[in-house]
Amino acid sequence: MLFLAVFAGLLPVYAQRAPIDVNLIIDGSASLSPVKNEISTWIDGRFNQILIDGDRVTVWNAGNSAIVVFTGRIEGNAREAVKKSIQDISPSGSVPDFSSALREAQSRQSSPFSYTLLICASPSALSSTINSTQGNLLRFSRIEEFSNWRALVVGLNLDTRVRRAASAFINN
């Protein structure tokens, strides 16, 4: 019993991690309107699981053009500010600009690891991104399907790391 109490007390020490860059790119097209509340609730639950104090969060509204609607470190009331920035997105237009948001998120990466979550509510929105020069950024993605939208975890800057690791493996 004493062993379990000590082990449970030390578990949070081993679960800590360094702060990371977190990018949230939300489809700001008119397709967001019918699923906005569902998406907001899902993001809130997901972020409660992954965000720690010190993480750097940037939220994009990928409407007709991608704009940053929140950027800051998670500390104090920042979680509420992130939620408010998502709630304040006003859906409009027909084609979300994921390419610009992905390109900017890639260029902003300041830590060795980042977590990029792209929310797509438009049925055909990803095809234009996949066919653009930013299509290679979606190569290392995991897609979670929901009834009327998708969540993509995008591995930004992984292609360089994969090539480096493959080269090191082959040369050894």
Q: Smallest Cα–Cα separation from 30: which of 106, 72, 92?
A: 92
- Mean pLDDT for 31-35 is 95
| Banded model confidence at residue 28, pLDDT cuts 50, 70, 90 | very high
User: Which CATH number is 62's domain given?
Assistant: 3.40.50
Tell me if 23 is assigned to some domain.
yes
Q: Which residue has the higher pLDDT, 171 or 148?
A: 148
Decide if pLDDT at 61 tops 60: yes
pTM over the 0.85 mark: no
Tell me if 25 is assigned to some domain.
yes
Residues 6+ apart with CB under 8 A from 156: 23, 102, 105, 106, 109, 114, 116, 137
Q: Supply the range of the domain harboring residue 86.
A: 19-171
Tell me if 140 is assigned to some domain.
yes
Tell me if 121 is assigned to some domain.
yes
Alpha-carbon distance 139 to 159, whole Å? 8
For the chain, how many structural domains are there in total? Answer: 1
Decide if pLDDT at 6 tops 90: no
